[in-house]
Chain A
Amino acid sequence: MENPYLPYPVRIDDIEIATEDKSLKTFKFVFLDPEDEKKFSYQAGQFAELSIPGVGEIPIGIASSPVEKGFVKFTVFRTGVVTSHLHNMKVGDIMGIRGPLGNWYPWDKLENKNVVIIGGGFAFTTLRSSIIYMLDPANRKKFKNIDVVYGARSPGMLLYREELYEWEKRDDINMHITVDGTDDPTWKYHKGFVPQIVEQNAPKADENTYAIICGPPIMIKFTQPALTALGYKEHHIIMSLENRMKCGIGMCGRCNIGKELVCKDGPVFTLAQLNKTPKEY
């Protein structure tokens, strides 16, 4: 019997400071056994439990993309016991990864559709995974227009800045990068909160357009009405949720919203699904 609690052993291969305030770091992991990498076959939108023996586990969205091989990446905000410990670890250290866990963005359904990706703050990790996946030469033709609205407090708080600016230069993806505010006179992108930028820049809704939202609760709360005002229907709005988790496999019982478990039935839900469940997230 496979033991779903047993993590795959990994080595920290690289650590990158992701934001100017150093509260986020991106960890690149390599599996000790290459066979485990094959077993850890994931889709953009899934998460995993990062597992530090003797310290604990944390559920984190997978920031690398299924089209990137040889490693997996996670961007982690330092906030609790496990994340603080992880931030103090160094390249070469051994730990574990359990997963991939949860469902993913509905890539089958999104084929031949326009996709609008909306992210805020450090909830951009699985969205990065998704963008890399969609822009991959083997996949780009499967999707029509791709729009991305991504905002952070300040330019230095945007994740994956170099990639953002690269994507900005391409003609097969429309980037709408924004910050809440900046005193940098050379800032050439948007200023303003995500919901407002969505209202001004997101394409109008139609049967072939889907929006994917991932961000802090407050951003989601105000972005939903903006999309509704643009005519997006509830089954065209796709959201990725977070709740406190332990097992990640639908057994420990804490992450439920009604009868759905965010870890196993989610984390990705349509607004139509969420409208039928208690708002316990």
Chain B
Amino acid sequence: MKFITIDKKNWAKGIEKSRETYRLFGPVKDKNGSFIRDLENDMLPDMSCHDSVLSVKSVLFPQTEKILFTTLDESKEDHHIMKRVPADTRQRAVVGIQPYDAKAIQLVNLNFDTDDYRDPYWCDAYEATTFVGVGINKPGPFDFSTSAGTGPFSETGLDVLMADLDNAYLAKVLTDKGGAFMVSCGFDTIADEKESRALFDILRKEAEKNISSQIDTGKLKDKTVLELHEAPFWDDIAFSCINCGTCTFVCPTCWCFDIQDEAKQKSAGRFRNWDTCMSPLFTKHATGHNPRDSKTQRVRQRFMHKLKYFLDKYDQGIMCVGCGRCVKSCPVNIDIREVCKIMNSYEKKE
């Protein structure tokens, strides 16, 4: 394990230098909050951002993405034969992300990279991306990451974890990819390993002390799907929901998508767009029949997917990293921590 000290005076220069090898992404603040954006020349990632509205998933899985195209011009030999939109294979680095968002990427990867099929758009982007996180010294009130299998200094899925030390960053290089990024920036001041470890440990413990809310998921595994699905509390949980879908869009682990075609004159494109299980159209059959017709069914689907189906299917914990974005963004104050508590403590009456 290598630790590198980066004097903040050298930060901008190093980031600029990395552009020779990488296309850079990072948090950028605007009037609507912080978003992970493509960093154009001279733009620096906002390293103090610990509350990006959307997570880093959009770098690998854009809100809308053209996946195939063709010509409809019948005088062309290959008309109506679809082809892949050429992949952008340049190396990408996302710098300054919240550490648990990298864990979320690993969870979403379970869906897109399987033994049966590999989603080439996701997999290519995933392989091309280096994840540089920055530890969160003062987690906010919505953060429950430590009880969701991550934390403000979580390392899972990251290539580099950085700690913000007022005048300098201390970078913990976690993978070869991370090492290559540091080299491309020209950051090479090796820090003492023992001291650095101790420092990270102190920062992590201090940060974790600030986290005031926890969830308990310990009993979810032992309940059956039907027991939870048929439990009487879903109408109450869903009562205030307006099915806006915000929770699904801000969620770093939600991956559901729609596929839509567009034709303009003689050219056709196939696009994939983020979708949401909160929408009745999501499951509506062509016949009009809808297996999740009611709001309650849709709200139940979201929480059952995150806290039960995913857990049972992959045995890798829940499909939530505890970032608290859905809690913060929900216009009607539905709180996954509360729902988790209700589900986890539910005992079916005989």
Contacts and interface: CB of A to CB of B under 8 A. Distances in A.
A244 B82 contact: no
A95 B80 contact: yes
A254 B79 contact: no
Contacts of B81: 9, 32, 53, 94, 96
Contact of B285 (A32, A242, A259): A242
Contacts of B82: 6-7, 9, 51, 53, 96
B297 interface: yes
Given A4-B117, A251-B119, A254-B277, A54 B84 contact: no
A3 interface: yes
Contacts of A3: 84, 120
A243 B80 CA distance: 27
A6 B285 contact: no
A6 B84 contact: yes
B118 A1 contact: yes
Interface in B234-279: 255-263, 268-270, 275, 277
Contact of A53 (B72, B292, B304, B310): B72
B116 A243 contact: no
Interface residues of A, number: 47
A277 B79 CA distance: 44
Interface in A1-30: 1-7, 9
Most B CB contacts (10 A, CB to CB) among A5, A57, A243 go to A5
Nearest to A262: B291
B334 interface: no
B263 A54 contact: yes
Nearest to B81: A9
B117 A276 contact: no
A95 B118 CA distance: 24
Given A56-B261, A95-B80, A276-B225, A4 B119 contact: yes
A281 B291 contact: yes
A156 interface: no
A266 interface: no
Given A259-B309, A278-B229, A280-B297, A57 B119 contact: no
Interface string A246-280: 11011111111111000010000000000011111
Interface string A61-80: 00000000000000000011
Nearest to B118: A1
Contact of B258 (A52, A252, A280): A252
Contacts of A257: 291
Contacts of A57: 259, 261
Contacts of A244: 282-286
Given A4-B117, A5-B67, A253 B277 contact: yes
Contacts of B286: 79-80, 83, 244
A59 to B, nearest CB: 10
A217 interface: yes
A55 interface: yes
Contacts of B79: 94
B256 A252 contact: yes
Contacts of B213: none
B262 A54 contact: yes
B262 to A, nearest CB: 7
Nearest to B72: A54
A159 to B, nearest CB: 17
Nearest to B291: A280
A161 B263 CA distance: 38
Contacts of A80: 286
A252 B275 contact: yes
B112 interface: yes
A53 B80 contact: yes
Interface string A40-64: 0000000000011111110000000
Interface in B68-106: 68, 70, 72, 79-84
Contacts of A276: 224-226
Nearest to B287: A79
A95 B74 CA distance: 12
Contact of B268 (A9, A54, A250, A264): A54
A41 B286 CA distance: 28
Contacts of B84: 3, 6
Interface of A: 1-7, 9, 32, 51-57, 79-80, 83, 93-96, 217, 242-244, 246-247, 249-259, 264, 276-281
27 contacts: A2-B120, A5-B119, A5-B259, A6-B82, A53-B268, A56-B260, A57-B259, A83-B286, A93-B80, A94-B80, A96-B80, A243-B291, A244-B284, A244-B286, A246-B258, A246-B259, A250-B117, A251-B112, A252-B258, A253-B255, A253-B257, A254-B283, A259-B310, A276-B225, A278-B225, A278-B229, A281-B291
Given A53-B268, A259-B310, 12 more contacts: A9-B82, A53-B68, A53-B70, A54-B70, A94-B81, A252-B258, A253-B256, A256-B309, A258-B225, A258-B229, A276-B226, A280-B301
**9 tightest Cβ-Cβ pairs between the two chains A and B:** A54-B268, A54-B263, A253-B256, A259-B309, A94-B80, A280-B291, A53-B268, A249-B117, A80-B286
Interface of B: 67-68, 70, 72, 79-84, 111-112, 114, 116-120, 123-124, 224-226, 229, 255-263, 268-270, 275, 277, 282-287, 289, 291-292, 297, 301, 304-305, 308-310, 312-313
